Amino acid sequence: MCGERREGAPRGGAIPARLLRAYRQTDYRAPGGVVRIGRRAPDAVLVHLGGRAGGFVTAWNPFSRRMPDGWNRRMQRRLCERLRRHAMLPAEGSLGRWREAMLLVAGDARLLVRLGRIFRQCAIVVVQGGQCARLVLLP
């Protein structure tokens, strides 16, 4: 299937089907357009980012468990501090009434995977010019 890759088994076993479905249905918004899993990312997204590859990462709601907004904002600032030497743009993930602050970061998927693990995320979204956006599940 275009759009998904596993980086090993997620913590505590498989990600629930409803959560996977939510990741796949989410609109990942950034300057230049909306990215959807399994669909080709708009060229304008990478043009705005100034790179040929990158992805969406967040520090909000570790392991997809709701945390207080103040905590989420503090952790997102820490993520921004770690990325201060990388090109990044503010982004957002949204599905229905749910919204989550994200960053669109230029660079190799390995960087994003490492950051996703550090900030205890279940997955990241990788985009590359001319290819489908991929959901990468993290162990």
| Local confidence band at 130 (pLDDT 50, 70, 90 cut-offs) | confident
Domain extent, residue 129, equals 4-137
| Residue 2 scores a pLDDT above 60 | no
- Separation between Cα atoms, residue 36 and residue 14, nearest integer Å: 22
Q: Across the chain, what does the average pLDDT equal? A: 90
The dihedral through the CA atoms of 91, 29, 47, 115 has a sign that is: positive
How many domains does one find in the chain? 1
pTM: 0.88
- Separation between Cα atoms, residue 24 and residue 88, nearest integer Å: 23
CB distance 76 to 101 below 8 Å: yes
